[in-house]
Amino acid sequence: FFASDERIKAVRQMIMAPTPEKRKEALDLLLPYQRSDFEGIFRAMD
């Protein structure tokens, strides 16, 4: 999961977010990574 510096940075931003708005911003950064990961999982299962 933590294959790139960008992912690690986004996860840290989400964990350390001082406000719900900042947490949402970090989650928005993580969403494309999660989608890609799950697409790969579903392709492997098919």
Give the pLDDT score at 1: 58
Distance CA 12, CA 26 (A): 9
SS3 labels along 10-44: HHHHHHHCCCHHHHHHHHHHHHHHHHHHHHHHHHH
**1-43 pLDDT tens trace:** 567 898 999 999 999 999 999 999 999 999 999 999 999 999 9
Q: Which domain holds residue 12?
A: 5-45
- The pLDDT, as a whole number, for residue 12 is 96
What CA–CA distance (Å, rounded) separates 30 from 25?
Answer: 9
Q: How far apart are CA 41 and CA 20, in angstroms?
A: 30
What is the spatial distance between Cα 31 and Cα 25, in angstroms, rounded to a whole number?
A: 10
* Total domains in the fold of the chain: 1
